[in-house]
Amino acid sequence: QKEVEQDPGPLSVPEGAIVSLNCTYSNSAFQYFMWYRQYSRKGPELLMYTYSSGNKEDGRFTAQVDKSSKYISLFIRDSQPSDSATYLCAMAGDMRFGAGTRLTVKP
Amino acid sequence: KAGVTQTPRYLIKTRGQQVTLSCSPISGHRSVSWYQQTPGQGLQFLFEYFSETQRNKGNFPGRFSGRQFSNSRSEMNVSTLELGDSALYLCASSLTLEGSPLHFGNGTRLTVT
């Protein structure tokens, strides 16, 4: 079993939809949780960073962490074609990344 | 504030050659990590440096090496290139070793023919 599991998708949604991206993990030592967005031919860009259970909101993005269930989510509201990218979850202690979910938002 | 800068952006090499990639971290960041990214394997950790010392190393052969200079700039070297080394090599910097999020450069795309 991998330490971090992320559905690779691909995920395709219409513009304006709410997108839910999810990761599960097995190592309870992870204390910090991140979401990265990676556009084609670019490096991953930090979207969200949190270290506690609960929700953290930033504009159209909400990161949710449930340490008891070892589950993290990223919600994107009112999705836009510019949100089309690969989204990677990451967690630390020792940094671990999910495989990434490829998202396409269709106009 | 300038982001993480990686040079060159693209490289084409032939099997058996060696290559050196360069990374300049965000000003004030002392930790630099290197990752290999391929479609099939995702992001794979190569090594991490902090204050010129290698702190962690991933599961890669000894052909992959790196170093960090006193100004926190880092280089990685791959010797005796193999076709399977073709990948996007990403450098990331962070303020500290643990807990600080990584900030990535745009990578060096290496193609081995």
The C-alpha atoms of residue B11 and residue A11 are separated, in whole angstroms, by: 32
> Which residue is closest to A101 within chain B, CA to CA?
B42
Indicate which of B23, B36, B43, B93 best probes the interface with A, i.e. most A CBs within 10 Å of its own CB: B43
| pLDDT confidence of residue B104 | 97
Dihedral (CA of B18, B75, A46, B55) sign: positive
pLDDT band at B97 (very low <50, low <70, confident <90, very high): low
Strand order in the sheet with A71-76: A4-6, A19-25, A71-76, A61-66, A54-58
| pLDDT confidence of residue A7 | 85
Q: Could you read off the pLDDT of A24-62 as tens digits, one per residue?
A: 999 988 989 999 999 999 999 999 999 888 999 999 999
Kindly list the residues from chain B whose CB atom is less than 8 angstroms away from the CB atom of residue A43. 4, 6, 90, 92, 104-107
| pLDDT confidence of residue B81 | 98
Indicate which of A2, A97, A101 best probes the interface with B, i.e. most B CBs within 10 Å of its own CB: A97
- Residue of A35, A29, A42, A17 whose CA lies nearest to A72: A35
Q: Could you read off the pLDDT of B17-74 as tens digits, one per residue?
A: 999 999 999 999 999 999 999 988 889 999 999 999 999 999 999 999 999 999 999 9
Contacts 24+ apart (CB under 8 A), B58-66: B60/B36, B66/B34
CA distances from B97 to A35, A49, A58 (A): 18, 16, 26
